[in-house]
Amino acid sequence: SYEVTQPPSVSVSPGQTARITCTGDKLGDKYVCWYQQKPGQSPVLVIYQDTKRPSEIPERFSGSNSGNTDTATLTISGTQAMDEADYYCQAWDNSTSVVFGGGTKLTVL
C-alpha cells in the first residue's frame, strides 16, 4: 500500500519560515494537500492540489510539489504563535485511496 512520510516534529522561531516535508514514491505525480489540526479541534484544510489555498487561509501558508521529486513541502512564512499545531499531508493513490502522513507537530518557540 502507498505511504507518505512526515517528520514527527519541526521547530521554528516566531517570524521565521517553517517548512514541513511530505515524502512518498513518485509523490510529484500526485496532488498533495495539507491540513492543520490544533488541540481539541477538527482538521482544517490549508493547502489543496499542491499549491492552492482556501480563501480563509492566510497568505503565509503555501505549498509546493515538484514534478520530479518525491517530496512535497508546506511552507509557513512569518510563522506566528497561532500556527503551532499538528500538520498532516494527504495524497490519493489508486490502490490505497486517501492516504495521510503521520503528522508533524509544529512548535513555535
Cell of 76: 509557513
Please count the other Cβ atoms lying within 10 Å of the Cβ belonging to residue 97: 9
65 lies in the site for other proteins, by CB under 8 A? no
Nearer to other proteins, 31 or 64 (CB): 31
Residues 1-30 touching other proteins, rule: CB under 8 A, are 1, 30
Calculate the alpha carbon distances from 31 to 13, 17, 26, 74 in Å.
29, 23, 11, 13
57 lies in the site for other proteins, by CB under 8 A? no
Q: Which of 48, 60, 64, 77 binds other proteins (CB under 8 A)?
A: 48
Nearer to other proteins, 36 or 79 (CB): 36
CA angle 78/83/84 to nearest 5° reads: 125
Distance CA 22, CA 25 (A): 10
Provide the binding-site residues for other proteins, judged by CB under 8 A: 1, 30-31, 33, 35, 37, 42-45, 48-49, 54, 86, 88, 90, 92, 94, 96-103
